[in-house]
Structure 1
Amino acid sequence: MWKSYRYRFYPTPEQESLLRRTLGCVRLVYNKALHERTQAWYERQERVGYAQTSSMLTDWKKQEELNFLNEVSCVPLQQGLRHLQTAFTNFFAGRTKYPNFKKKHQGGSAEFTKSAFKFKDKQIYLAKCTEPLPIRWSRQIPESCEPSTVTVRLHPSGRWHISIRFDDPTIKPLPVTDKAIGIDLGISSLVITSDGDKVSNPKHFNKHYRRLRRASKSLSRKQKGSKNRGKARIKVARIHAQITDSRKDHLHKLTTQLVRENQTIVVENLAVKNMVKNPKLSQAISDVSWGEITRQLAYKCRWHGRNYIEIDRWFPSSKRCSNCGYVAEKMPLNVREWDCPDCGTHHDRDINASK
């Protein structure tokens, strides 16, 4: 079973200089390849693939003004071109929008395959680096596992992370239970189970809203290109990182508990992309991260031998009486409780939907 562990690390000044140059070169190669592919289509109606962009990279390295591309490892540059090819594949399949150009101040990442790093004595040595990365090992990689790829990422807040991917044969299914639950995802209550339990919405964004608003206002008043604007931008990015970290921590604990306690989990397949188009609910829906909850439940159930079932988004779970099956004609959002006109059962809207 493939897994990835993410760690925080604190590079030395020499390592940080090399890594920043590597990220800059990856971004440059990605953007130049995207420009060439876009231009080839609009000017000649010609599709350019990975093989052609790889040949272009070889030519770019020979140019005097781009000679600095030879100072970094070639593997992350090639991986950047492969990621661009994947982005176009997803675009032509209708799964994503057209690829965007990468921006400098949004951080960046560089992927190193097995030929560009060494894993020796439980330390990571990247290509062109003489010293191991000073990683904060919050958990150890299993003894029998060998990393296949490592990805170095710089966040807009200035934090460095490394993701180590490996095949873990030690994952075993959890003991079988006879418990099955249905889950309804909401805003006022984050998760409502068919058992009648409700998990309150922690509202991570609202907790940091005032700080974020002040920091964003301060950023907007700084002169573009100034050092003070750069400091203000990092301050805003750090607040966003705090929101993201607290949200992910809460969701991981919640989904892990659900998977451990239940053999079968049934969730509605929500169209989150369409739902966030509602301007009145978009911020609240984005904050609760329904898509992340279902993603975590799906792969954790796969890891631990649980059954994960998604029902159709058009199934009238809120309007359907869980006792007799009667389906109400209308059920607006302001109706939180209702009585079934057929059998007379009193329903909490969310608990009924989870059943």
Structure 2
Amino acid sequence: MKAVPLLNFYAKCIYIVKTIDIIMLKAYKYRLYPTGSQKEILLKHIGACRFTYNWALEQKIKAYETDKKHLSRFELQSCLVHELKPENTWLKEVNSQALLNTLINLESAFTRFFREKKGFPRFKSRKVPFQSFQIPQHYVVDFENNTIKLPKIKQPIRAKLHRKFEGKLKTATVSITKTRKFYISVLVDDGKELPETQKFDNNSTLGIDVGVTHFATLSSGKKIDNPKHLKNSIKRLKVLQKRLSKKQKGSQNCDKAKLKVAKLHERIRNQRIDFLHNTSSKLVSENQAIAVESLDVSGMLKSHCLAQSISDVSWSEFFRQLEYKAQWYGKTLLKIGQFEPSSKLCNICGHYNGEMTLADRKWECPDCSTKHDRDINAAINVKKFALQNQNLLNI
């Protein structure tokens, strides 16, 4: 498999988490390098938080079944301190606030279930690739020594603090990946306000039409190639998965084969995220406004013919990055409806070509005889529809 140069993945992972009264909270993600004893304590924290979450979820379910419709977080907190901890003394070896934070997460999960219909909370499993726990306070980030001091761990943990920040420390999330790498994501309130949204017009707006053959087609006529990270590594992935299927479950060879598969999946993911960050940052920095089409990606993934290719291009993650980066830099992200006929409508005269199929990549308008590239025409129409919604298009 040919090596592909990457920018530092975790150096790029700076996400906007939420905006409260135009004040930004940012999360900075760093790689941790704990010693053997520190790994043991971190894993004990993860296991204790998972145990507490499952216990609290079970208590809520039992309370509902016994006609006590609601069991509040504060009641669970009291049971945790006076009942669960005395019965399980090993829980006292981990940070108490990390355990209490799991109750907050469970409460948030139920809130999303009742308000947003996001699905009933599930019991956590140790087999899930991503495991984590949260520390709300009392941790120290030392940029001079490249270490992070966490509660209940005597010695500071060595970390790669490649990017400095200033501000008030909020919640820190420690996680472990399937490839046995530890990371910490530090939420910071830097006190800075979001910049004012810049004015835009027809000339400073860019329309984007995403696709599978080309990752994105711009209204300027430029096409961004689809790197197809998964497809480039699919042969090697199949070989590793076939070897894994032949190993005896629970054996050391099985664990080694699992690790090789996980490392390849992680490599593919890092390549994809790196490409999306570079592309989204460039598009946001070069334009005052960006117009995109709202897509039902989850519905499109039900197509067995295109599901793998759609998952590989990660449209949802691309749109998410465009949205929060536009907020960071005072730009505007415009969205149009998913049912707008952007591909079938001539951007010159407005003729509707209802007979066009997905296989038709080029077509000629019967009214104005304009020859269209399907994707470029769609990108121009996406821009037109978005500006018409904003009443900024000069016709």
TM-score (normalizing by structure 1): 0.92
CA deviation string 1:108-136 (max 9, x = no partner): 1111112x313456542110112222111
Q: 1:207 aligned to 2:232?
A: yes
Show the counterpart of 1:297: 322
Show the counterpart of 2:17: none
* Cα deviation, residue 3, structure 1: 1.0
Query: Residues of 2 paired with 1:151 and 1:158: CA distance?
Result: 16
Show the counterpart of 1:104: 126
Show the counterpart of 1:338: 363
Show the counterpart of 2:266: 241
Show the counterpart of 1:24: 47
Query: Residues of 2 paired with 1:72 and 1:246: CA distance?
Result: 35
Show the counterpart of 2:302: 277
* Cα deviation, residue 201, structure 1: 0.6
1:13–1:98 CA distance, 2 compared to 1 (3 A): same
Show the counterpart of 1:133: 157
1:119–1:261 CA distance, 2 compared to 1 (3 A): same
Show the counterpart of 1:325: 350
Show the counterpart of 2:69: 46
Task: Choose from 16, 30, 33 the match for 1:10.
Answer: 33
Query: Residues of 1 paired with 2:350 and 2:50: CA distance?
Result: 55
Q: 1:71 aligned to 2:96?
A: no
Task: Choose from 93, 113, 127 the match for 2:136.
Answer: 113
CA deviation string 1:282-326 (max 9, x = no partner): 111111000000000000000000011111111111111111222
* Cα deviation, residue 198, structure 1: 0.6
* Cα deviation, residue 171, structure 1: 7.6
What residue identity is the alignment partner of 2:342? S
Query: Residues of 2 paired with 1:41 and 1:220: CA distance?
Result: 42
What are the ranges of 5 or more consecutive residues in structure 1 without an aligned counterpart? none
* Cα deviation, residue 347, structure 1: 1.1
**Greater mean deviation of Cα atoms: 278-287 or 333-342:** 333-342
CA deviation string 1:1-22 (max 9, x = no partner): 2111111111011211100000
Show the counterpart of 1:158: 180
What residue identity is the alignment partner of 2:140? K
SS in 1 for 2:157: coil
**Greater mean deviation of Cα atoms: 185-194 or 325-334:** 325-334
* Cα deviation, residue 191, structure 1: 0.8
Task: Choose from 92, 101, 104 the match for 1:82.
Answer: 104
1:287–1:49 CA distance, 2 compared to 1 (3 A): farther
Show the counterpart of 2:257: 232
What residue identity is the alignment partner of 1:127? P
Query: Residues of 2 paired with 1:56 and 1:331: CA distance?
Result: 64
1:45–1:202 CA distance, 2 compared to 1 (3 A): farther
1:22–1:186 CA distance, 2 compared to 1 (3 A): same
Show the counterpart of 2:14: none
What residue identity is the alignment partner of 1:77? L
SS in 2 for 1:280: coil
* Cα deviation, residue 269, structure 1: 0.8
What residue identity is the alignment partner of 2:257? A
* Cα deviation, residue 219, structure 1: 1.8
Output the aligned Cα RMSD.
2.0
1:27–1:286 CA distance, 2 compared to 1 (3 A): same
SS in 2 for 1:130: coil
How many residues end up aligned between the 2 structures? 350
CA contact (8 A) 1:266 1:308 kept: yes
* Cα deviation, residue 170, structure 1: 5.7
1:71–1:92 CA distance, 2 compared to 1 (3 A): same
CA contact (8 A) 1:171 1:304 kept: no
TM-score (normalizing by structure 2): 0.83
Task: Choose from 23, 35, 47 the match for 2:58.
Answer: 35
CA contact (8 A) 1:125 1:133 kept: yes
Query: Residues of 1 paired with 2:104 and 2:242: CA distance?
Result: 39
Q: 1:194 aligned to 2:216?
A: no
SS in 1 for 2:357: coil
CA contact (8 A) 1:119 1:147 kept: no
Query: Residues of 2 paired with 1:16 and 1:337: CA distance?
Result: 57
* Cα deviation, residue 184, structure 1: 0.6
What are the ranges of 5 or more consecutive residues in structure 2 without an aligned counterpart? 1-23, 381-395
Query: Residues of 2 paired with 1:52 and 1:82: CA distance?
Result: 12
CA contact (8 A) 1:112 1:151 kept: yes
